[in-house]
Amino acid sequence: MSSTTVPTPPMLSGGLPVLGHALEMLRDRDGLFKRGHAAHGDLFAIKLGPLNTLVVTGAEYNRIFYTETDKALNMQEGYAFLKEAIGEVLFTASKEDYYNQRPVLQEVFKRERMVGYIEAMNLEVQRWLDSLGQYGEIDVTQEMLRLTQQVAGRSFIGKDYEQELGPNFWEWYQAISASLDPVLPPTLPLPKFWRRDQSKKKIAEVLNKVIQKRRENPGRYNDLISTLLTTPLKDGSILPDASIVIMFMGLIFAGHETTAGQAAWLIALLLQHPDYLKLVKAEISREVEPNKPIDASVLSRLEHIYWAVDETTRFRPSADTQIRTVEAPITVGPYQIPAGWRVMVSGATSHFMPDVFTNPERFDPLRYSPERSEGKNPFAIIGFGGGIHKCTGMNFAKNEMAVISALFFQQFEAELVSSDIRVVAGAGANHPSAVRVRYHRKTAIESLKTAESKAEGCPHPQPQTTSEG
């Protein structure tokens, strides 16, 4: 090698012939990334089949990953399996189409619309809580999957979403979700891909009827579909019906699958850390009035809950990695990355750097308190992406998790039954294994004590060290 030659990153050992590290990636992604980081530091390479892939760790290199997206790095090629599942929209569309669609995304999630979304969250979360009865045992992982579907339905379609979407909508949607496969070509004649394509057709039929109703009664609706029908794209055009169907599917995928796993982890982690849960319950008793919905003003005062939401994103991210394709050679650190390579960010390593996060293997929401302010760099945590491609629905997801946890712990006492909760890695979004929770509804006496404590002005709890995870 000449002195002017820039090397490529070191290749991690252990790759198999032909497959490279693909099997290890599927079996234990976190373990693979941690092994690579321990051997080579913040930059190392793996082989996924024939593809050389750079894995990066840390805010400095994460920033390059996000800021070079749509420049030297291409986002769409690595998500071909998602494009086949939901269509060319959002991050699966070409970069020209993505930027053309951004005004619609910004309209969907603008601050004024969040008021209605928060109202929908309150209604659906309370309906779920009312269905639990006085006591029982549930799998929170499965409950959050259904609840986030209901919140998405009411938020994006309106109060009649169950009638308009029909009884089979989420069953069809699940067939699409189950088809996601980043390894196999997505057009193979396999049963799961056949079910995916049939389900897409059925969902399109349902949504086209919803679109037609909005067209016939433009003044009656103010939901996602009517917004997509009336909001101009960057070039001044309006989305055609087929693209509205795909956009709806993309927003449902981005907003419901990831939130379901994060919400389940949030409840599990709070129950595993009773010291911090005491802070959360005290905050709820101070700020959340019984029998009243939680509005944006209340949410703004739930700092302990939002710190827990942020720590859950760090500690157990639903989106623990993202991928790009190198279109033009790019320098990352001391290495030259050739065109055709892939680049991946890694939550398994970036989120657990001891020089950024104190005791990173501990669930510790107080690290985000003003006194500590850890992880301030916007590229330190990759759970919601970064840069211009940071998840547009991030605030929607955080608010939903806050409403769920606040109302649940306001109205119920709960005990974690599951002793071994694991990360279940999926092609779409990670989620926890079964989170069995035993619960009972708070009695009138308990509610009265809460009200009296609030009336007396419960003092703000002092930050304290949380228990070990």
Please give the domain boundaries of the chain with CATH numbers for all domains: 22-456 (1.10.630.10)
How far lies 249's CA from each of 153, 169, 255, 298, 460, in Å? 12, 11, 10, 31, 43
Three-class secondary structure of residue 69 per DSSP: strand
CA 180 – CA 427 distance, rounded (Å): 6
Give the residue carrying structure tokens 């930027």. Answer: 99
Cβ–Cβ < 8 Å for 305, 283? yes
CA 165 – CA 210 distance, rounded (Å): 8
- Which of 42, 245, 263 lies closest to 148, judged by CA? 263
CA 350 – CA 36 distance, rounded (Å): 13
Show the low-confidence residues of the chain (pLDDT under 50): 1-3, 445, 448, 455, 457-469
CA 302 – CA 369 distance, rounded (Å): 12
Rg (CA), the chain: 23
CA 177 – CA 314 distance, rounded (Å): 24
Cβ–Cβ < 8 Å for 298, 410? no
Query: What per-residue confidence (pLDDT) applies to 321?
Result: 93
Angle of helix 191-216 relative to helix 241-252, nearest 10 degrees? 120
